Structure 1
Amino acid sequence: MGPPPITLESAKPYIGRFAPSPSGPLHFGSLVCALGSFLDARAHGGHWLLRMEDLDPPREAPGAAARILSALEAHGLHWHGTVKWQSKRTPLYEDTLQQLRKQGLLYPCYCSRNQIRQSGGHNNSRCRTVNPGKGTCALRLVCAGGEELFLDIWHGEQRQYIRDDTLLKRRDGLYAYQLAVVVDDISLGITHVVRGADLLETTGAQIRLFGALSAAPPVFGHLPLVMGPGGRQKLSKQNRAPAVDNANAAGNLCTALAFLGFHVPASLAQEMPETILNWAATHWQRHQVDRHNRQLH
C-alpha cells in the first residue's frame, strides 16, 4: 500500500513546464497541451518553463526543435528563462544513477523485450533468474510492488499498481524518459505538471522515483487528448500529424480553447495571440476543462 493521496496544491510558488520532444513539429494536439499548461501556470501567478526532451537522437527530426520554438512564439506562448535541453543535463542523470546505486536501488538488467513480454512483466527477482550477466545491460530501479495513490487535477484520485521495476537507462546507453523527467522536475523545482492524458499511466512509477530520491512529487494534471481520424489513436508526430499553421495562430488558439471546453467569443479570432491569451488566463477555470479524449470537430 502506498502513501495517502497527494494533495492537489503545493505551498510553494507555482512552477510549471512544457516538455516537447523534437521528433517532429508542433501539431494541434501538442498545442492544446502547451496552451493548457501555460494557462494553468499563468492563472495561478506562476512561471512556465520550457524543456526540450532531446535525449533520443534516433527519433529526432532535423530542425524540429527550432520549429517547435518558433511555433510557440508565434502563438504567444512565451516561456520564462532559457530553454532547458536534456542533452546538456546528462551529468545530472549520471549523478542520480550513482546515488541510487549507493542506496542499493539500482541493478543491471540484461533481459530482452521478448523475455520481459513472455514473463508477463519485470522485477528484480525475475530478472536475476533470466539474466545471463553478459553483454550490454540496462539499469532498473528496484520499485515493483504496491500502489501509488495521487490526486490528478482533472481525473481525481488515482491508484496505480507498480508492476515493473522502472527502466532508468537503456541497453543502448541512452537515459530513459522516466529518469530524465523526474530528475529534471526536481532540479528545476517544478511544482505542477500539466500534460497529456497519455502520460497518466506513467505517473505512479514517477512518483515512486521521486520518493526514492527523497523529493516531493509535483501536482499532476492530465489534459484531454486530441484523437486522430477514427478516434482510435491520438494525434502524434509518430502518426505524422500536420504542423500547426503559424500564420493562423489566433484561429488555432481559439480552436484549442474550445477543445479544452471554453466558450470563446467569435470576435477573439480576429485578435492578436496576446489578447486571446489574456482573455483565456482571466477566464481559466480548471473545472471547465473537458477531460475526455475526443476528435476535433
Structure 2
Amino acid sequence: MIKVLITGGQGQLAQALAHTQPKHQYLFATYQSKQALDITHIQQVKRYLQNNPINYLINCAAYTQVDHAETDQKRAYTINAIAPGYLANLAQEFNFTLLHISTDYVFEGLLAKPLIEGMTTNPVNYYGKTKLAGEQNILPYNIPAYIIRTSWLFDVLGDNFLTRLLKRSQQEKHIGMVYDQVSSPTYIQDLATTLWKIILQIHENPSLYQPGIYHYANEGVTSRYDLAWTIHKIGNLNCNIIPKHSSDFPGFANRPSYSVLDKEKIKSTFGLTIPHWQESLAYCLHNYRQ
C-alpha cells in the first residue's frame, strides 16, 4: 500500500492532485484542509501521523499572496518557512518521504538565462524570502525530501493568473499587463501529474532518485503580457490587453524580471516529457469552455 497525505487539501494544487490521482489499486491518498490539519501546529500533525501512518506527504499548504506577504509577514513566515521545518522533523521521526512545493521567486531574476537548481538565490520580495527559508529548514534533515520549485501556476480552478484575468475581462475593457517580467507558465494539472509520477517512480526504486531540489514548469518562455494576450486570443475575451512596465504598478511587491527555470535535472532524472505552456493553456481553456 502506498499511503499519501496531501496538506492544503482545499487548494488548487491539491484539487489538481485529486483530479489526476492515478487509478492504482495500491495507492491511497488523503486530502487534509488547513481546518482539519494545520501544518503550523507540529503537535497536531504529530498526533495525526501517530494514528495514520503514511509513506509520502505532499505539502501543498502555503501562503501564496505575494503582495499581502509584504505586510502580513508573521503569518507568511510561519506557514512558508517554519511549518516546512516541522514537516521535515516529522518525516525523520515517522520515516516518510516529503515532497514540498517551492517557487521561482527564490531567485533575484537578474540573469537572462535559465536558472539551474544550484544557482545563488536572492529573493526580491518577502514571499520569496519565506519560501527560501522553508527550503533551508527542510534540507538539513537526513530525510528523503524532494523540493519542487515551480513558476506562474495557472488553471481554471482557484486563485491564479488565469482565473483573475478571466474575471477581470468581464468587468474591465482595458487590462494592463507587465511586459518586463519573463518566466515559464505552469499548468497545475501538469504539475500534479508529474508529482504522482515522481511518487510512483520513487516507490518502485527509491535508490535511483536522489532527493534534493528540482525545477518544474511547462516548456517555453513568455512575459506576463504575452501570456495574457494569448489567453485573450484563445479565450475570445472581450477586453484589450495593454502592455505596461512593472514600474506602472508601484503598489505591488517586486517580482523577478527573469525567472525561467531550467528543467533538465527533473526531466533526465524522472524521464519526463513536459508539454509547452501554449499547448497546456489551449487544453485548459478548451475544457473550461466545455
TM-score with structure 2 length normalisation?
Answer: 0.27
TM-score with structure 1 length normalisation?
Answer: 0.26
- Choose 1 or 2 for highest CA Rg: 1
Higher RCO, Cα 8 Å, sep 6+: 1
